[in-house]
Amino acid sequence: MIVQVSTFDTDLEMDDVTKFDPDQFVESVSSSQDDAEEVVVDSVTYQVEVQYKLPETLTENSVQDMIAAAQAVPKENVDAKKSVRRLAASPRRLAVAWDVTIKTPDASAVDSIATKAENKEAIQVAAQDLGISSVTVEVASPPKKKVSVQFKVKSKPNAAQAVQTIDTAKLTAELGNKLGVNVSAGPVDFQGKEEETQTPSTSPTADFIDEAASTSPSDELVVNSGTKTLSCLLAFQLVLAGTLAALRF
């Protein structure tokens, strides 16, 4: 039996990410997609997204260093990308927008990260400690708290096509109702598909019946014959022992 398996990524914006429940997410995806036979969550990470206005002379590496130091998190937990949009900081110096994402596996740490993300002075101090001088920081877009989910959707057995779209509006409504909080599901990105071969399972009772049915009459005859032979041999040994005992007397 062939099953089509699709992989998706999505970000869920939530005021309180600690309310996220993978089981409720699975039920919400299943409810919003009629062709889904099974939904499996592969990974869950929590993150804060914020946009800064920073001098255009900074590099991606230096922005990562600054934010990681200000947040007291590993550098690999920080993503920084320079926006195409250029912002005027002053007549003499130009600034650009930087889209920054700070990730964590701990949902309870998100509120603290979001608060620190708005602390411009702490970022400027971190830059100075790193030897990066004359850094002016502005928060161009306030922090957003999100849950990043990667999941798989298995189509119904022998379906002609894999599931390639998820209704974002339905997912937002279903998950919000189940969690009891405001949820805004971002685009659900289709990452690819694969085929999975499944073998129908059999019950132990069926296996026992099949094994019993496979026993032929000839097999039963061999077993019965062996039992009778052992019985005869034992009787002969008893008679022989009695005869020897009589001869001694």
CB 153 within 8 A of CB 26: no
Q: Which residue has the tokens 């003499």?
A: 92
Looking at residue 156, its pLDDT comes to: 87
pLDDT tens readout for residues 102-155: 999 999 999 999 999 999 999 999 999 999 988 999 999 999 999 999 999 999
CA proximity to 180, closest of 39, 21, 30, 26? 21
pLDDT attached to residue 214: 52
- Looking at residue 174, its pLDDT comes to 95
Query: What residues does each domain of the chain span?
Result: 2-197, 205-248
CB 94 within 8 A of CB 86: yes
* Per-residue confidence (pLDDT) for residue 90, from 0 to 100: 45
Rounded to two decimals, the pTM is 0.74
Who wins on pLDDT, 93 or 13? 13
pLDDT digits (tens, 9 = 90+) for 219-248: 443 445 544 544 545 555 554 555 555 545
The fraction of the chain above a pLDDT of 90, given in percent, is 64
Cβ–Cβ < 8 Å for 46, 103: yes
Give the mean pLDDT of 163-172. 94
What one-character DSSP code corresponds to residue 189?
A: E
Percent of the chain with pLDDT over 70: 76
The CA distance from 82 to 97, in Å, is 6
**CA diameter of the chain:** 133
Cα angle 204-209-211, degrees, rounded to a multiple of 5 = 95
Q: Under 8 Å CB-to-CB from 132, ≥6 apart: which residues?
A: 58, 62, 65, 66
Between CA 45 and CA 104 the distance in angstroms is 6
pLDDT tens digits, 186-203: 999 999 998 887 776 555
Residue ranges of alpha helices (H) inside 72-117 are: 110-117
